[in-house]
Amino acid sequence: MAQLWVLVLLRVLLQIMDQVKTQFMGAGSGTGPGSGGSSSGAGSGSGEGAGIEIITRDVVIVGGGSTGTYAAIKLRDLNHTVVVVEKEDHLGGHVNTYTDAETGQTLDYTVVVFHDIPVVRNYFARFNVPLAPIKNQQTVLPIDFTTGMPNVAGASSPNATAAALQAYAAQLAKYPYLTSGFFDLPEQIPEDLLISFGDFVAKYHLDAMVGLAFQYCQGFGDLLSLPSIYVLKYLDLATLHGIQSGFLTSARHDNIELYEKAQAELGQDVLTSSHVVGVNRATPEGDGYNTLLVSSPSGVKIIRARQILVTAPPRVQDNLAPFSLDAHERSILSQFTSHSYWAGLIRNAGVPPGTAIWNSNPDQPYNLAELPGPYTLIGQQIPDLSVFYYGAPAGEQPSDDEVKADVLRKVRNLQYTSFGGMLAPLGGPNNTNTTTNATSLGQPEIVDFSNHCPFEFTVSSEEIEAGFYSELSTLQGYRGLWWTGASFHVHDSSKLWDFTDRVVRQMVGALSGRGKGYYPPSNGKRV
């Protein structure tokens, strides 16, 4: 009923727009009392007496995270007009940068590293944000967060891990197409990509790398039950190379700077703290424009755009509810299952810089953490700060308050045992110290917290085998709607920028009239 009400309101607003259109906008050129226009179809205006701003663009981008921001800049560079609709008050999506009030230092604690590839260097250079190499040189201590006791079996020897990774890399080499988006999968998916990751591990004797894979694939829920394709696609050869040789990171430990500079360049073409409440999709009989009703802090706006690029998580029940999905779209997108993931910073945890406490439960397969629960606790360079990461299985999403309470409770467990006797009361290695250090550290306090739900969209092996991703590819450009983001590739900004570059160029082809692709025939295939 709520969606029907929105559509009725949108139609009324469209009638108002038709009545006042000639007062503020030429035929698709954006001229008149609005803020100006361009030959490519940009323009905005309020329409005298209507009180509603109408924005005309080539493309509207829904979601201003990593891919949405990159796509907006790329389209601008290709001389197309854009507007970005972002629900948060800033661009950046999963990026979290914390500024310490006492020292003024900045700290990235979610999106931290990037691959050393041209798209990364070019993007950062475009905004004059310096990069620096970074290698993972953490000391790993496996401890059961529930009991606070060490679990030595939770960490494989370096030699065993290296051998397992080498065997894993040999399997990865069989599937070079995994480095591309899901749209590039073959029609027949190999069986090894469909079996569970747990079965894949057992088949190729990869036990020694499971702990490492679990930590890298945070937010994937029950990793061992997941179809192996999702693990192999994320933990691919490029990532293995980065683990061995290092990645890139912001030289100023301030990844949000990239998004702040992008937002400054986009200017009024970014609508923050805004969300789409209704969409009237383009049809072959219409003028070629999609119409979106957007709620923003400055009031309701109508956006007319030739193409829509969705970069927000493709969840039918909320993010996609306003988009008037048809049966074809809904039948495909509703198959997705999402997972839950959080991150935050905690003061007074007592973990030294460069030390990673892995949550290692001896009662779980391969000594992995029991979820819902923390994955790890890592000491940072800013004094007294540690970062934590927390996950839950598919279908479970504790509240933010429940996550915070669980983290604080388990940190206290670790402190009461001096981290299983593996850390001294004030930090530093100490394999024999078993004195209680909780009082010497002070009360742990969460100083920054971020909810990344919904995270990692997956489907079952049966659905993959039945052609889910082939069907998903038919939605690219369907009825004027285009897609990019982690659900269509991986949770990795570097790889997503490469993938999004391809999507943008396909959209530009549609904007230029080369394979419009927005209204396929009844068989669901694109035209």
Each residue's pLDDT tens digit, 233-283: 999 999 999 999 999 999 999 999 999 999 999 999 999 999 999 999 998
Is 328 inside any structural domain?
no
User: Phi and psi dihedrals of 391, rounded to 5?
Assistant: -135, 170
The answer to whether residue 314 sits within a structural domain is yes
User: pLDDT confidence of 1, banded at 50, 70, 90?
Assistant: very low
Residues 194 and 342 in one domain: yes
Is residue 428's pLDDT more than 90? no
Tell me: the pLDDT tens digits for 367-385?
999 999 999 999 999 999 9
Q: What percent of the chain has pLDDT over 90?
A: 78
**Same domain membership, residue 162 and residue 229:** yes
Q: Which domain holds residue 411?
A: 136-245+337-455
Single residue among 455, 488, 503 that ends a domain in this structure = 455
Q: What is the CATH number of the domain that holds 413?
A: 3.90.660
Distances (CA, A) of 67 to 218, 343, 414: 20, 20, 38
Q: What local confidence, expressed as pLDDT, does residue 135 receive?
A: 84
Say which range, 85-89, 300-304, 438-442, 516-520, has the weakest mean pLDDT. 516-520
* Same domain (yes/no): 286, 173: no
Shared domain for 348 and 390, answered yes or no, is yes
Please check whether residues 155 and 232 belong to one and the same domain: yes
Q: Lowest-pLDDT range, 34-48, 61-75, 484-498, 508-522?
A: 34-48
Q: Please check the confidence at residue 515 and state whether its pLDDT lies above 50.
A: no
* Shared domain check, 350 and 414: yes
Do 109 and 92 touch, CB atoms closer than 8 A? no
Q: Which CATH number belongs to the domain containing residue 523 in this structure?
A: 3.50.50.60
Domain identity same for 239 and 384: yes
d(CA 310, CA 502) in angstroms, rounded, equals 15
The count of structural domains within the chain is: 2
Letter string b/e over residues 162-178, b meaning 16 or more CB atoms within 10 A of that residue's CB: ebbbeebeebbeebeeb
Distance from the first to the final alpha carbon of the chain:
33
Q: Is the pLDDT of residue 73 over 80?
A: yes
Closest CA to 516 of 180, 185, 303, 282: 282
Phi/psi of residue 196, each to 5°? -65, 155
Looking at per-residue confidence, does 360 or 441 come out higher?
360
Closest CA to 57 of 310, 309, 307, 323: 307
Distance CA 415, CA 418 (A): 5
* Judgement on whether residues 6 and 18 belong to the same structural domain of the protein: yes
- Does the pLDDT at position 8 exceed 60? no
What's the average model confidence in pLDDT over 12-25? 42
Q: Please tell me whether residues 382 and 274 are part of one structural domain.
A: no
pLDDT confidence band for 522 (50 / 70 / 90): very low
| Token couple for 193 | 């990509």
Same domain, 75 and 140: no
Instruction: Give the least confident one: 10-19, 62-71, 210-219, 304-313.
Output: 10-19
Q: Is the same domain home to 146 and 236?
A: yes
Please state the pTM of the whole predicted model.
0.88
220 and 149 housed in the same domain? yes
Asked if residue 5 has pLDDT above 70, the reply is: no
Q: What is the DSSP letter of 262?
A: H
Of residues 488 and 35, more confidently modeled: 488
